[in-house]
Amino acid sequence: MKPIIGILGEVDAEKSTIVQTAYLNSIEKSGGAPILLPYVTEKETLERYVSLCDGFLFTGGGDVHPNRYGEEMKETCGTPDVMRDELELAVFASAYKAGKPILAICRGIQLVNVALGGTLYQDLPTEYPVELFHRQKEPKFSPSHRVKIIENTPLHTLIGASSMTANSFHHQAVKQLGEGLEVMALSDDGIIEAVYGKGKQFLRAYQWHPERLFATHAPTRLLFEEFITACK
């Protein structure tokens, strides 16, 4: 039976919840049954969702509010997505506690890092001497920079290579690593591009958008297949 994957999508001010189709396709074509989790607030509802789903996908979107990692918001921070922060931090805490598999993409890696006590660069161009341009001008479905894969990490075992293709649509990144996380890929200019959970639980987070490379880059598909396998 296909595992049910609860997807955390974008939440806007009118309380609508949406998700880009590329995430749904990537999950479904890898053998999962994706469902979109709406914006809800009651603990009991959230707990029901967490028990229903076999795994969770945290997707891309706006910035996490810096007060979630103990900082004042700088001018260069994007408009924070506070309703989404509230929903996702609650779902993450519950899913993490339950030991359910978690895959996180773009904003997702930032959310997971903050949830585990880490911090973020609020704006790379002004806070980190970046050489690469992490907000690519190339189309969404084109790679723009490679990532170096660290040896003896799950990503290295999975891909079997020391680098892979990535795209890049972020102005923030992981700064201080959250508790229980390890780095598994870096950009050539030293930005953390992928992390994993050190414990038994399946937890993988990527700064790039593998769902946008799913159709054209075979190694990228392994990231989703590995996740769905863990959810079975």
Q: Which residues here bind Mn ion, judged by CB under 5 A?
A: 134, 168
Q: Which residue is nearest to Mn ion (CB)?
A: 168
Min. distance of Cβ 94 from Mn ion in angstroms? 29
Q: Is 106 a catalytic residue?
A: yes
Smallest gap from residue 191 Cβ to Mn ion (A): 6
Complex with Mn ion: residue 17 or 144, whichever CB lies closer = 144
Considering the candidates 65, 145, 171, 209, report the single residue annotated as catalytic: 209
CB of 120 to Mn ion, least distance (A): 14
Q: Which two tokens stand for residue 78?
A: 């994007």
Nearer to Mn ion, 130 or 158 (CB): 130
CB of 103 to Mn ion, least distance (A): 18
Catalytic residue selected from 65, 106, 134, 193 = 106
| Distance set, CA 189 to CA 124, 129, 145 (Å) | 11, 8, 10
Q: Whole-angstrom Cα distance, residue 136 to residue 120?
A: 20
Respond yes or no: is residue 217 known to be catalytic.
Answer: no
Write down the catalytic residue from 193, 211, 226, 231. Answer: 211
By beta-carbon proximity to Mn ion, the closer residue of 57 and 192 is: 192
Our CB check for Mn ion shows the closer of 100 and 134 to be: 134
3-state secondary structure string across the chain: CCCEEEEECEECCCCCEECCHHHHHHHHHCCCEEEEECCCCCHHHHHHHHHHCCEEEECCCCECCHHHHCCCCCCCCCCECHHHHHHHHHHHHHHHHCCCCEEEECHHHHHHHHHCCCCEECCHHHHCCCCCCCECCCCCCCCCEEEEECCCCHHHHHHCCCEEEECCECCCEECCCCCCEEEEEEECCCCEEEEEECCCCCEEEECCCHHHCCCCCHHHHHHHHHHHHHHC
Residue 143 or 178 having the CB closest to Mn ion: 143
If you count them, how many residues does the chain have? Answer: 232
Would residue 209 show up in a list of annotated catalytic residues for this protein?
yes
* In the complex, least distance from residue 147 CB atom to Mn ion, rounded to whole angstroms: 8
Going by C-beta distance under 8 Å and a sequence separation of 6 or more, which residues neighbour residue 93? Answer: 115
| Catalytic positions, written as ranges | 106, 209, 211
